[in-house]
Structure 1
Amino acid sequence: MQYKNIFSLALASLVSAQTPSLSDALGSQNSTLSSLNTLLESNSQIAESLSRLRNVTILAPSNDAFSALTSNKENALLLANSDYLQALLNYHILNGTHYNDSFGDDTTFIPTLLTNNTYANVTGGQVVEARLRDNNVTFFSALKENATIVTPNVNFTGGTIHIIDSVLTIPQNISETLSNANLTAAEGAIRTANLTDSVVDARDITIFAPNNDAFNAVGSIVSNLTSDELTSIVGYHVINGSVNYSTDFQNTTLTAVNGENITITVVNGTVYANSAKVTVPDILLENGVVHVVDQVLNPDNTSAAPDTTASSATPAFTNASSGSEGVPFTSGVTTPTTTFPAATSAGGETETSSSSGAAMPMKTGVVGAAALFGGAAVIVNL
């Protein structure tokens, strides 16, 4: 028995000696990661924290990924801020060791080490979406930005590294997300109802955000809404205290913040909230998730059910029609320049906002500045 223990210890020591340290795995053994390694070498405190990690998976952007990112001077300035850099690196570290062949056809949402409330107001840490797509494992971050594994399973003493072809984007708050996703009517409705701060500050939320076509379809009723009615309608699209990703949905009911129930129905893999179809699922927020729907939900018509045979959605509001003044609630809302398709009914989950040099949408305004520079982030191994 004693000899067995000695042999086991010797074997473990041999395996440990053969497994490179993180600095070796990122440095001399992988020239495609020299940009990341140089970045860490210039931030010794961050590098030391990373070297102590165990049982993690690091998504390491390649040199080309960093080159595309830093070609924008604003991005380069962000990376020079140590607080933001720590948060960004945390977001590239997955809890647990996930080898390439462990990712299946089913979408999974994996918690990262990004837990600082300045950047991630969700219980258990901000997540990335992982999906096997076209025989490649792809990760989706904010605004469905995608990064694909180009070199898998680079092992090191703390777990494994996957080299990816793009830098992940930290999810933004609801206002920035709706604006950048071109869901300008939904953003305007929340602002008009004076609920922006409440939604931004809430922890663990799920939002069903109607696209602009959906708001346009009920434009005729908007001018007649009282303040209380608009507040109730907006509140009927928000679930507080529960982050429900698409993989969590089953035939059930959820209670919205206005107290009314939303019936969730799954038909052949398509999710419906009452009669509204989810057209773009799982747009990550810093405090939850957004699912784009093709109808505005009506809190006075909670029994609306999906009609899977209809060629187009029937509004949940009786006698509603398009207004004469264009898409409601969009006046004064900044129109984004992205190609994200969520604003119209043409949006789909495989479409993304990815474009050359746009891997990191910029935070803007007072809230954005506070989020970027207002708090410290500490790398921890959960």
Structure 2
Amino acid sequence: MCHSWGSIAAAAISFALSCANAQDVPNLGDVLANQTDLSTFYGLIQKYPQVLLQLPSYQGVTVLAPSNDAFSKIPYSSLNGAFQNNDDDVIIDVLEYHILQGTRLAAQLVPGTPEFLPTLLKDPFYTNVTGGQVVENVKQAGDVVVFVSGQGSRSTLTTADLKFDGGVVQIIDTLLIPPTNLTDTTNAFNLTAFEGALYAAGIIDIALYTPNVTIFVSWNEGFQALGPAITGMTSQELAQVLKYTILPQVVYSPGLTNDTKFLALNGENITIMHNGNNLYVNSAQLLTPDILIANGVIHVIDNVLNPQGPNAQPNPRIGTQAPVFASASMVTNLPFTNSLPCTVSCPVTTTSSATSSTGSSSATGDSTTTSASVFSSSSRAQAAVARETGFGAAGLVAALGGALLLV
């Protein structure tokens, strides 16, 4: 095979891609050029050839190539501002997120078993997880293959396993959304009571910037079910409760096996239990698994975990589990939302407003997250300075020891 790795920089700049292997397997450029439905994606790869400098020489890659129709959906997505304003940094990050490490053939997927595949996206704004940000891949009934990305965005495979000499191209019908930070994600999923509690407890930075975390987030109803049992806590007591919901490791749903114990940030264990098709974290039922965030993953549960009740058992005969806090009392108002920083229609004061210093777009319950604030170079730069995770400044990562020849 002809692998001119030493001349990759010149090849990338000129977009020459003239090398084919001995078995006449087409190169990447030929595959993209010959698919009329990929003309927009192919044009972006030509415009940003530096993306291909990230392609590793080991075990090949999988290019998740959005169709032309996928790009027509951008105005209705959180990526609209970046593409509308030709934000090169964000567009490059998005393209890198569409390239998986290793060759992944759809024909080899096991139905019903989600996999979490590392990508070439390593910009610290989107990636505070070891090994590169991931995308979820699952094969559903009827041989439907789905990729799930940030904020729960779903992309369906439309054309599978187009092989080229360095891997395989998979055509998808919707762009992947790079995972956003915790506060942007909790806003998107209306998990504002948990977010507000993090601010009230003074540990928002721990949740935002600790690398490689799993967070069990109760939906809003779980906080309402507690009422004064949790709102009456001191900030220190509340911090201990919330740290009990955070694991210092990334555990996706396949790793939540029956009878497994995990050590939380507060030093106490949580226990995973299965009953039929239901999964419980202590006594709280899992509602929505595997919501990707910049520094790990969120699993939504129906109750707030209590470090004082680690042995609480679920009742599988009921749909929503009872609170495990003494003196719990249902309230109609949503706890802790008054602790959220104001970002919309804020009162004018003589001091700086109480906004997040991280570039987060968290807001009060009636405000919305704008795509420009989530995906912009300026907010990325602010977040990179504030994050201090050891990943260094935002920007392209160095080439990973080689690359694929361009066509």
1:101 partnered with 2:107: yes
1:59 partnered with 2:71: no
Distance 1:238 1:367, change over 3 A: farther
Deviations 1:267-314 (A, max 9, x none): 224221110011000000111000000001111111111111124311
Distance 1:57 1:336, change over 3 A: farther
Deviation at 1:202, TM superposition (A): 0.6
**Residue identity matched to 2:374:** M
* Conservation of the 8 A alpha-carbon contact between 1:173 and 1:285: yes
Q: How many residues align?
A: 347
Distance 1:283 1:361, change over 3 A: farther
* Conservation of the 8 A alpha-carbon contact between 1:22 and 1:51: no
Match of 2:98 among 87, 92, 95: 92
* Conservation of the 8 A alpha-carbon contact between 1:168 and 1:360: no
User: In the alignment, what sits opposite 1:293?
Assistant: 301
User: In the alignment, what sits opposite 1:347?
Assistant: none
User: In the alignment, what sits opposite 1:230?
Assistant: 238
Distance 1:137 1:380, change over 3 A: farther
Show the 5 A alignment for 1:168-187. Answer: 168-187=176-195
Deviations 1:69-100 (A, max 9, x none): 1577513146x333322321221111111111
User: In the alignment, what sits opposite 2:119?
Assistant: 112
Q: What SS does structure 2 have at the residue aligned with 1:192? A: helix
Q: What SS does structure 1 have at the residue aligned with 2:39? A: helix
Alignment partners' CA distance in 2, 1:361 and 1:16: 48
User: In the alignment, what sits opposite 2:357?
Assistant: none
1:334 partnered with 2:364: yes
User: In the alignment, what sits opposite 2:346?
Assistant: none
**Residue identity matched to 2:103:** T
Deviation at 1:155, TM superposition (A): 1.2
Q: TM-score of the superposition, structure 2-length normalised?
A: 0.78
**Residue identity matched to 2:382:** A
Deviations 1:342-368 (A, max 9, x none): xxxxxxxxxxxxxxxx99993489855
Q: TM-score of the superposition, structure 1-length normalised?
A: 0.83
User: In the alignment, what sits opposite 1:375?
Assistant: 394
Deviations 1:151-200 (A, max 9, x none): 11111111100000000010011111111111010111111111111221
Counting aligned pairs with the same residue, the percent is 35
Distance 1:131 1:162, change over 3 A: same
Alignment partners' CA distance in 2, 1:131 and 1:161: 17
Deviations 1:323-380 (A, max 9, x none): 35x0101234433788xxxxxxxxxxxxxxxxxxx99993489855635996112374
Higher alpha-carbon deviation: 52-61 or 42-51: 42-51
User: In the alignment, what sits opposite 2:156?
Assistant: 148
Alignment partners' CA distance in 2, 1:123 and 1:51: 17
Alignment partners' CA distance in 2, 1:95 and 1:14: 21
Distance 1:51 1:321, change over 3 A: closer
Q: What SS does structure 2 have at the residue aligned with 1:296? A: coil
Alignment partners' CA distance in 2, 1:372 and 1:167: 24
* Conservation of the 8 A alpha-carbon contact between 2:82 and 2:375: no
Show the 5 A alignment for 1:284-363. Answer: 284-323=292-331, 326-331=333-338, 332=340, 333-335=363-365, 362-363=374-375
**Residue identity matched to 2:32:** L
* Conservation of the 8 A alpha-carbon contact between 1:233 and 1:298: yes
Q: What SS does structure 2 have at the residue aligned with 1:322? A: coil
Q: CA RMSD in A?
A: 2.8
Alignment partners' CA distance in 2, 1:86 and 1:52: 20
* Conservation of the 8 A alpha-carbon contact between 1:86 and 1:378: no
Distance 1:109 1:52, change over 3 A: closer
Deviation at 1:222, TM superposition (A): 3.1
**Residue identity matched to 1:312:** T
Distance 1:248 1:223, change over 3 A: closer
**Residue identity matched to 2:91:** L
User: In the alignment, what sits opposite 2:343?
Assistant: none
Alignment partners' CA distance in 2, 1:47 and 1:375: 18
Alignment partners' CA distance in 2, 1:273 and 1:289: 15
Higher alpha-carbon deviation: 16-25 or 45-54: 45-54
Distance 1:31 1:70, change over 3 A: farther
Q: What SS does structure 2 have at the residue aligned with 1:313? A: coil
User: In the alignment, what sits opposite 2:355?
Assistant: none
* Conservation of the 8 A alpha-carbon contact between 1:237 and 1:297: yes
Q: What SS does structure 2 have at the residue aligned with 1:57? A: strand
**Residue identity matched to 1:377:** L
